[in-house]
């Protein structure tokens, strides 16, 4: 029930005292009920039943979880020694399996066990036919695996192997070891590491949200140092805080001048610029000459030809800015590059890139809800790059969502292949082809006209006679993905996954309220820079991003720096988007 059980239950233990039932007692009962619901103990192993073993290796440590009937029996973390860190990925994944089996061999040698790994090559060990004699550690490991008479190695997608992956990437573990560092397992207790043979508890966010599938973070080895910043003033060695959470008491705009006067980084430029408001002054800053100006209440700096607002290096200011461009619902927990791109358009402080990268990497919501991307092997048949906006449109349904009060349980996703702009339309799974055509006319055609190509899967609605007649009548070409192969329309499937990740991040309770967030999430997606075009969908469509919640407080300060509408440059923007898409396809 937790170490503070006595404090929580104190209002309920005064049995011999007359009292009046108040909200305090109700709250105590609710807290105790919730703790009973959330409290998880380890399953007692039963050797007569099959076991499930999940393993993963991250490049510097391994993680594993042993389960039975979907309930955890134990968790394992072991840091690799320097020699093991130099193993190939195949050998590291096999090492994780061997160490996990050895740890629980007293249970697994006599029972049926299914070992799940996200490294598909390991599944071939069960039908290995070596063309030459095997030597060294591979032979020893195979001999060890042969001791488990009922072992089945099964491939599982990385997004479904999140627990072992999180254990292998647990924050605080060293990403390199000295030769003197022993390689010992770290058994996870509730919030602590111990050497106990069995752990009591679970990792944070272990299947925390029933009904919402959790996802793993981007798969890569953790870097030993942040990526180098762009050619701008060198970053500070450390920052006051690393967080993207909502600040408890965000600073008011009137507090910025006072913060500048106390900030050791911007104090000198502020004192020089505040006496000549609006004037551009050349001031020495961090051993270089930069142009500053003061527009009440913000200090601006000119970096790479653009005016940016200087952010005082105090926790409350950095947290406020990071939250508005990453954690806010209209920012939708963008990735590192997209968060930095959105942030650097309006703000500046030394080391902004390294700080943003560290914050996004440490964001608990992102780590719990996002997965990684990996291209499948084989030749790709790429779609043609459209010549103008909304010429090629992708359509897909996201179905089986919680039923809302308006009766919607699905989302129709419509996306432009050139600008990457998308519309998310509430729908019903029971919609017919006629209903879908009506949605298309109301939310797509009346705004963007008829497309040249409609890209979709082989949903019966998209293969109906009505749909064929519509496409024939208006000379719209249909491009359908292969059956049981959604990767054919990778853009829409990736967009669907992004939208699902947004929902996982922001819907902690009240799953039926997803429709209320749809408009805000659509705005967040369309104002975020796309990796293939290096522009946001709004920038490709209109030449600039609209104001969002992140810009409202600084709208007046940015007005002098904003460029006019770029209507005459739309053609250039389309050409630029096309060239970036072409480049992205060949990377």
Identify the helix (H) or strand (E) that includes residue 281: strand 281-285
Nearest in space to 417 (alpha carbons), one of 385, 445, 440, 443: 385
Q: pLDDT confidence of 551, banded at 50, 70, 90?
A: low
Task: Give the strand pairing for 410-416 and 392-398.
Answer: antiparallel
- What percent of the residues of the chain are helix, what percent strand, and what percent coil, each to the nearest 5? 40, 15, 45
Mean pLDDT for 528-536 is 79
The string of pLDDT tens digits covering residues 138-150 is: 888 888 888 888 8
Residue 220's Cβ-count burial label (10 Å; 0-12, 13-18, 19+) is: exposed
Which residues are within 8 A (CB) of 255 and not within 5 positions of it... i.e. 6 or more apart? Answer: none
**pLDDT of amino acid 24:** 83
**pLDDT of amino acid 528:** 83
* Residue 563 scores a pLDDT above 70: no
Tell me how far apart the alpha carbons of residues 10 and 19 are, in angstroms, rounded to a whole number: 13
Please tell us whether the domain made up of 51-194 is placed in CATH 1.10.275.10: no
Tell me how far apart the alpha carbons of residues 505 and 333 are, in angstroms, rounded to a whole number: 8
Tell me how far apart the alpha carbons of residues 117 and 107 are, in angstroms, rounded to a whole number: 19
- For residues 398 and 170, the model is more confident at 398
% pLDDT > 70, the chain: 72
**pLDDT of amino acid 120:** 85
* Residue 514 scores a pLDDT above 70: yes
| Measured CA distances, 259 to 44, 185, 287 (Å) | 56, 47, 22
Tell me how far apart the alpha carbons of residues 365 and 356 are, in angstroms, rounded to a whole number: 15
| Of the listed ranges 189-203, 261-275, 461-475, the one predicted with least confidence | 189-203
| Of the listed ranges 31-40, 191-200, 506-515, the one predicted with least confidence | 191-200
Q: Residue 276 CB: number of other CB atoms within 10 A? A: 12
Angle between helices 490-506 and 514-526 (to 10 degrees): 120
> What residue segments make up the domains of the chain, in order of their start?
5-38, 51-194
Q: pLDDT confidence of 55, banded at 50, 70, 90?
A: very high
What is the full DSSP assignment across 15-55? Answer: TTS-----HHHHHHHHHHHHHHHH---PPPP-TTS-EEEEE
% pLDDT > 90, the chain: 9
Tell me how far apart the alpha carbons of residues 341 and 320 are, in angstroms, rounded to a whole number: 17
- For residues 166 and 94, the model is more confident at 94
- Give me the residue label for tokens 């009920």: 33
C-alpha 179, offset from chain centre: 35
b or e along 355-379 (b: 16 or more beta carbons within 10 Å of the residue's beta carbon)? bbbebbbebebbbbbbbeeeeeeee
Q: What average pLDDT does the chain have?
A: 75
Tell me how far apart the alpha carbons of residues 391 and 418 are, in angstroms, rounded to a whole number: 8
Q: Which range is most confident: 200-209, 242-251, 458-467?
A: 458-467
Mean pLDDT for 210-225 is 37
The string of pLDDT tens digits covering residues 227-257 is: 444 444 444 434 444 544 555 556 777 888 8
The string of pLDDT tens digits covering residues 261-317 is: 888 888 888 988 888 888 888 888 888 889 999 988 889 998 888 888 999 888 888
**pLDDT of amino acid 526:** 85
Nearest in space to 392 (alpha carbons), one of 492, 286, 498, 247: 492
DSSP at 441: I
Nearest in space to 415 (alpha carbons), one of 532, 314, 336, 333: 532
* Residue 486 scores a pLDDT above 70: no
Q: pLDDT confidence of 113, banded at 50, 70, 90?
A: very high
Q: pLDDT confidence of 188, banded at 50, 70, 90?
A: very low
- Give me the residue label for tokens 């007046």: 556
């Amino acid at each position: 029930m937790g170490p503070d059980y006595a404090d929580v239950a104190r209002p309920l233990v005064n049995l011999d005292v007359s009292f009046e039932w108040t909200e305090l007692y109700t709250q105590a009962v609710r807290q105790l009920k919730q703790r009973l619901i959330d409290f998880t103990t380890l399953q007692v192993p039963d050797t007569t039943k099959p076991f499930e073993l999940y393993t993963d290796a991250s490049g510097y440590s391994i993680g594993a979880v042993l389960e039975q009937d979907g309930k955890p029996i134990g968790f394992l973390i072991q840091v690799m020694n320097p020699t093991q860190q130099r193993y190939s990925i195949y050998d590291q994944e096999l090492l994780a399996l061997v160490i996990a089996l050895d740890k629980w061999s007293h249970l697994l040698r006599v029972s049926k066990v299914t070992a799940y790994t996200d490294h598909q090559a390991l599944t071939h060990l069960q039908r290995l036919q070596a063309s030459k004699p095997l030597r060294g550690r591979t032979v020893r490991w195979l001999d060890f695996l042969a001791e488990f008479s009922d072992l089945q190695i099964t491939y599982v997608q990385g997004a479904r192997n999140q627990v072992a992956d999180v254990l292998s990437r647990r924050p605080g573990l060293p990403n390199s070891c000295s030769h003197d560092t022993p390689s010992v397992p770290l058994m996870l207790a509730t919030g602590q590491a111990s050497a106990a043979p069995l752990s009591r508890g679970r990792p944070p966010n272990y299947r925390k949200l029933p009904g919402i599938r959790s996802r793993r973070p981007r798969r890569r080895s953790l870097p030993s140092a942040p990526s180098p910043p762009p050619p701008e003033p060198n970053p500070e060695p450390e920052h006051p805080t690393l967080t993207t959470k909502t600040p408890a008491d965000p600073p008011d705009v009137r507090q910025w001048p006072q913060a500048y006067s106390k900030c050791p980084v911007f104090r000198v430029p502020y004192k020089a610029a505040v006496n000549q408001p609006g004037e551009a002054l050349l001031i020495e800053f961090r051993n270089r000459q930069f142009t500053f100006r003061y527009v009440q209440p913000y200090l601006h700096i000119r970096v790479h030809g653009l005016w940016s607002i200087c952010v005082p290096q105090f926790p409350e200011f950095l947290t406020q800015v990071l939250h508005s461009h990453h954690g806010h619902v209209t920012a939708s927990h963008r990735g590192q590059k997209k968060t930095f791109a959105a942030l650097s358009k309006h703000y500046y402080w030394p080391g902004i890139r390294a700080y943003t990268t560290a914050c996004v990497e440490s964001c608990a919501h992102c780590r719990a809800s996002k997965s990684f991307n990996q291209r499948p092997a084989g030749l790709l048949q790429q779609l043609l790059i459209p010549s103008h906006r909304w010429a090629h449109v992708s359509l897909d349904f996201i179905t089986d969502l919680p039923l809302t009060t308006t009766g919607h349980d699905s989302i129709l996703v419509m996306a432009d292949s050139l600008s990457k702009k998308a519309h998310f339309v509430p729908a019903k799974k029971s919609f017919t082809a006629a209903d879908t055509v009506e949605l298309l006319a109301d939310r797509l055609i009346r705004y963007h006209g008829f497309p040249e190509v409609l890209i979709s899967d082989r949903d019966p609605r998209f293969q109906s006679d009505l749909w064929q007649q519509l496409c024939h009548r208006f000379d719209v070409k249909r491009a359908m993905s292969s059956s049981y192969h959604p990767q054919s329309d990778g853009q829409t499937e990736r967009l669907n996954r992004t939208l699902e990740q947004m929902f996982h991040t922001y819907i902690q309770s009240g799953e039926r309220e997803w429709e209320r967030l749809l408009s805000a999430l659509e705005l967040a997606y369309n104002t975020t820079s796309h990796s293939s075009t290096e522009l946001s969908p709004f920038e490709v469509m209109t030449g600039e991003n609209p104001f969002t919640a992140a810009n409202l407080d600084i709208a007046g300060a940015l007005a002098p720096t904003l460029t006019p509408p770029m209507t005459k440059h739309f053609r250039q923007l389309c050409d630029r988007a096309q060239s970036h898409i072409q480049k992205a396809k060949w990377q």
